[in-house]
Amino acid sequence: AGSCTRLTVAGSSFLVEARRLLDLAAEAQLSVRRVAAGESGTVHIGFTSVVGNMVLPHLLPIAAQELPDIEIVLHELRTAEQGESLLTSKIDIALGRPYALGTELHARPLPPDGLVLALPRATVSDRDGTPRTLRELDGMDVVMYAATGPRHVPDVVTSVLVAHDVHPRVVPRVVEVYTMLRFVDSVMGAAIVPASTRGWGGDHTVFVELPELADAELHSIASWRPGSSSPAMGSILTLLQNAAER
């Protein structure tokens, strides 16, 4: 008669635990491979309010669908803060206006933004009240950009006004576009703002495209530090590049 070997209770318990540990080891190896391949991990993205508003609503849904195991952590930062945050590894990618990168950072352009005129709805209640050219802003109350804030958008707006010899009557000067649009909605004056911020306008604001603003471009970049410790960064940069080419 054949003999039959049976595990003791302790042996059975050990076998279950051994199988569990082997499964955990296999899962850990798979996780390590996914992180190394840029399919998993965490990516910290710094962004300015306007550039983030233009890019993130397109990037985040695509990333959630194509790279569901990458966690994206968002940090709102002014362009002037982004370079240092990249160099100190507080963020992995920065979305902002062009700035002096130095030799340690790389960048690629993002799709350009445009300019539109924001007007209080009360001033355009009839068709004849809507400006059709930039010249009609001459002497009009216009909310302008403060000299203490970021320079890219104000410099583009100023160059357009100077090129067309337009001299609006400046009412409050502010730093943030969101605040500027709040003032427009409160009927304090008009404003020339990035086209991508139309969604920030209130119920009492209308946006008008003027021919003199058609060729104005606001530039922005995605910047990063090569050799970052986050392999997932490369996957997100690829998504950004693909989105820019669409």
Answer yes or no: are the C-beta atoms of 244 and 110 closer than 8 Å.
yes
**How do 41-47 and 191-194 pair as beta strands?**
unpaired
Kindly tell me if the per-residue pLDDT of 43 is higher than 80: yes
What is the crossing angle of helices 232-245 and 49-66, to 10°? Answer: 110
* 3-state SS track over 139-208: CCEEEEECCCCCCHHHHHHHHHHHHCCCCCEEEEEECCHHHHHHHHHCCCCEEEEEHHHHHHCCCCEEEE
Question: How distant is the alpha carbon of residue 69 from its chain centre?
Answer: 20
Answer yes or no: are the C-beta atoms of 165 and 89 closer than 8 Å.
no
At 43, is the secondary structure helix, strand, or coil? strand
Least confident of 23-27, 213-217, 229-233: 23-27
Q: What is the pLDDT of residue 33?
A: 53
Kindly tell me if the per-residue pLDDT of 37 is higher than 50: no
Please report how many Cα atoms fall inside a 13 Å half-sphere around the Cα of residue 81, on the Cβ side: 11
* pLDDT tens-digit series, residues 66-102: 999 999 999 999 998 999 999 999 999 999 999 888 8
| 244: confidence class by pLDDT, cuts 50, 70, 90 | low
* pLDDT tens-digit series, residues 136-155: 999 999 999 999 888 999 99
The arithmetic mean of pLDDT across residues 131-138, rounded, is: 89
Could you tell me which residues come within 8 angstroms of residue 64 by beta carbon, excluding any fewer than 6 positions away? none
Local structure of residue 108 (DSSP, 8 states): E
Greatest CA separation found in the chain? 111
Could you tell me which residues come within 8 angstroms of residue 218 by beta carbon, excluding any fewer than 6 positions away? 97, 112, 113, 114, 115, 152, 153, 156, 194
